[in-house]
Amino acid sequence: MSSKNAVDVIIDGKIFTLSGFESDAYLQKIASYLNTKITEYKKDDVYRRQNRDFQHALLEINIADDYFKAKKQADMLENDVEEKDKQIYDLRHELIALQVKLDTLTKENADYNKRVVEYQKRLIKIETMMENSVSAPVSVETTVDDSVEEKPKKTRVRKTTVKKETVETPLEIMAKEASVDEEEKPKKRTRRTTKKTDTPVEE
């Protein structure tokens, strides 16, 4: 535990002894702040005309005002710091998640590249086999038995007749019907008439 410090300071022209666990510089800073406030108010005629108690009360009120303003600003800064800390925390978690995702994608990419290399090797092997099979000569040995003579096969050709359908035009149909009607009509008998002529008889 640190020991108390005792420091002699001058406030409004008087010597005071300040003691505390803070450093000597901090205690001197407090005394300097009070002297600055007193000097500012002594420049005001209204302040100088007031009695000693009123001057002390007015000085204390202004010091309290400075304190609350400083505290408000400190609270705002503290809230900002907390918000920034929260954002940093979220960003760190997001960064970790992105790093994990990046590692996964890197591993998958390596696997894909490995598979591509394997497929390329297989493709080269297949192409080489195809080239060898095309370039190699093909020899076919056939044995013919002279004792067996193959008889030529007779092929039978069947003649098929296709009936061609004729389509009659309307004029042909009408002519045909007219000829039929003419045949069905009864034949009229024709009578041969002979004219009698009176020849005079010569006596």
- Taking only the tens place, the pLDDT of each residue in 95-134 is 999 999 999 999 999 999 999 999 999 999 898 888 888 7
Determine the residue type at 114. Answer: K
Q: Which residue's entry shows tokens 């600055």?
A: 36
18 vs 11, 24, 46, CA distance in Å?
11, 9, 31
pTM assigned to the model: 0.44
Query: What's the pLDDT score for residue 162?
Result: 46
Q: Give the highest mean pLDDT range of 79-83, 124-128, 136-140, 167-171.
A: 79-83
- Give Cα 195 to chain centroid, integer Å: 121
Query: What's the pLDDT score for residue 47?
Result: 84
Domain architecture of the chain: domains with CATH: 1-49 (3.30.160)
Judge whether 28 and 9 are in contact, CB under 8 Å. Answer: yes
Poorest-pLDDT segment among 45-59, 62-76, 126-140, 163-177: 163-177
Query: What's the pLDDT score for residue 45?
Result: 85
Query: What's the pLDDT score for residue 80?
Result: 93
Reported as a single tens digit per residue, the pLDDT across 23-62 is 889 989 999 999 999 898 888 888 888 888 888 898 899 9
Q: Which are the contacts of 85, defined by CB distance < 8 A and separation ≥ 6?
A: none
The tokens for 121 are 């090797």
Q: What percent of the chain has pLDDT over 90?
A: 36
Poorest-pLDDT segment among 38-42, 92-96, 167-171: 167-171
Judge whether 59 and 67 are in contact, CB under 8 Å. Answer: no
Query: What's the pLDDT score for residue 127?
Result: 87
Query: What's the pLDDT score for residue 193?
Result: 46
Q: Which are the contacts of 167, defined by CB distance < 8 A and separation ≥ 6?
A: none
